[in-house]
Amino acid sequence: MRRQIVAANWKMNGSSELVRELVPAIRESAVALDNAVEVVIMPPSLFLGGVKSELSGSGLSLGIQNIARWQEGAYTGEVSAGMAADVGCDYALVGHSERRQLFGETDEVIAEKVARILESGLKVMLCVGETLEEREAGNAEAVVCRQADVALKGVAAADARRIVIAYEPVWAIGTGKTATADDAQAMHRALRTRLSALGFAADEMSLLYGGSVKPDNAGALFAQPDIDGGLIGGASLKANDFIAICQAAKA
């Protein structure tokens, strides 16, 4: 059975004060989820230790927002997947559209990162998604499937249980725009079909939606048969909003 997952991507936001205030509030409210939803907190790397401490004994998961293509070496400023595992992370996020657009990360670079994550024993949260131009040109499905194809090339079928994919239409991230529940479902269905064609147990893999998810649209999105939760950006920085989204995933 697929796991319902809601992940909080804080992006480059946060402070020690936010860690002390937000994480305990989420932890306290997560008790009511009865383990029906896996909650993942992904703060900036500097706050991983503080969040890990606040999550201790809670059953909530910890994730890092980005890792290096390499496991060690002379790469000043980089953080490896092995390091993330060493400090207690459960997940590593890769392929986010901001990394692709702002930092020039290609599908091939992302594939290298996926390999490093799996080597380190962490779980992969892989982002895929199309731009507005690609959607309007009728290429949305082809773009998303290509990104998955390249990122997962060479990954053993047995590792599918450690891979979560988040579909994030680039045009809906931080813009207030959201794909309709039907549009999101159609892409998730296409993606699941593609994963099956690649030899993975696709029906056992969790697929998330990310793109301006809020309390008022989460229910409709998560009710779709191929959407197993969400990757949440801005709303994850507000305890009440994020908790409401987690509760929608349980419903």
Half-sphere exposure in the Cβ direction for 109 (13 Å, CA): 14
CA atoms within 13 A on the CB side of 111: 13
Residues forming the active site: 96, 168
For the chain, the helix, strand and coil percentages under 3-state DSSP, each to the nearest 5: 50, 15, 35
Q: What does the pLDDT read at residue 131?
A: 92
Tell me the per-residue pLDDT of 191-205, one tens digit each, with 9 for 90 and over.
999 999 999 999 999
Query: What's the pLDDT at 172?
Result: 80
| Partners of 61 in the β-ladder | 40
Average pLDDT, the chain: 95
Instruction: Provide the 8-state DSSP code for 123.
Output: E
Evaluate if residue 60 carries a pLDDT over 90: yes
**CA distance linking residue 198 with residue 5, whole number of Å:** 23
Q: Which of the four pLDDT bands, split at 50, 70 and 90, describes residue 1? A: confident
Give the pLDDT mean for 194-217: 95
Per-residue model confidence (pLDDT) at position 177:
73
Distance of CA 13 to the CA centre of its chain: 17
Domains and CATH numbers, the chain: 4-250 (3.20.20.70)
